[in-house]
Amino acid sequence: MYPDFRLVGHRLCPYVQRVAMVMAAQSIAHERIDISLDDKPGWLFEINPTGKVPVLVIDQRSVLFEAAAICEYLDDVTGKSLFPSDPYERGQHRSLIAVGEQVLALTATLIYQVATEDAVDATMHQITQRLEILAGYIEAKPAGVQGKLGMLDFVFATVFRPFPVLAIGLNRDLYAVLDSIKDWSSRLLADDIVRNVVPKSYLVDMQKFITRKDGYLGRRLSMVPTRLLTS
């Protein structure tokens, strides 16, 4: 029997989504508490001095933070690993997960920091470079563990999820000449576990979230009709 789990997060946070997908895949019952990142409650800093989410509270007394650490813990405690059993393949997945973390960081840069079109070009170039690394693996060998979605899939599901919003805001094809990545993204985002950890209004919510930021992408998205993200 698993401990009592409480997952503290934010409804749009990709790192929280990763943990939530792992818990759903492993059929781990838990309580979910979503907070506002613009008005964080004081108790969050009491259980996690970094003030970041996700946070996993275990049996109302022990705390873990950082998505990778939480997911590794859940992988261990269930005894049903979401990594391949072969050591080399497991290492490959972890290497590609590191690439996914880089893309997430670059996406955050687009949302929070990039102020000019030239800076967008430079950031998108870096994202494309990393997707090309991933494409080489995906073309050679599908992701997943024993026919089911694995940790690598869940990480990249969070990478791909905001791409439709970015594509509309930047008027770019983020999957240009990366057909294998586009196909994988479509399969992941159609999966029930992946779809159900975010609200149905995710794309519109992300648009509103980004437009509140003072950057190039936010300014572009502020001019995009909401209907383009709901059709």
Q: What is the pLDDT of residues 163-192, one digit of tens each?
A: 999 999 999 999 998 999 999 999 999 999
> At 168, phi and psi to the nearest 5?
-70, -45
User: pLDDT grade, residue 229 (50/70/90)?
Assistant: confident
> Confidence class of residue 142 from pLDDT cuts 50, 70 and 90?
low
- For the stretch 25-52, pLDDT in tens is 999 999 999 999 889 999 999 999 999 9
Residue with tokens 């996914």: 100
Question: Three-state SS for 4?
Answer: coil
Backbone angles phi, psi at 34, to 5 degrees: -100, 135
Counting other chains too, the contacts that 29-35 makes at CB distance below 8 Å and 24 or more residues apart are: 29/2, 29/5, 30/5, 30/6, 31/5, 31/6, 31/7, 32/6, 32/7, 33/6, 33/7, 33/8, 33/9, 34/8, 34/9, 34/10, 35/8, 35/9, 35/10
**Residue 217, H or E segment:** helix 216-221
144 has a pLDDT exceeding 70:
no
- The structure's pTM equals 0.94
Residues in the chain: 231
Domains plus CATH for the chain?
5-78 (3.40.30.10), 87-229 (1.20.1050.10)
Cα gap 157→15, rounded to integer Å:
11
How many secondary structure helices (H) and strands (E) does the chain include?
Answer: 11, 4
Q: What is the pLDDT of residues 54-76, one digit of tens each?
A: 999 999 999 999 999 999 999 99
Percentage of residues of the chain with pLDDT beyond 90: 87
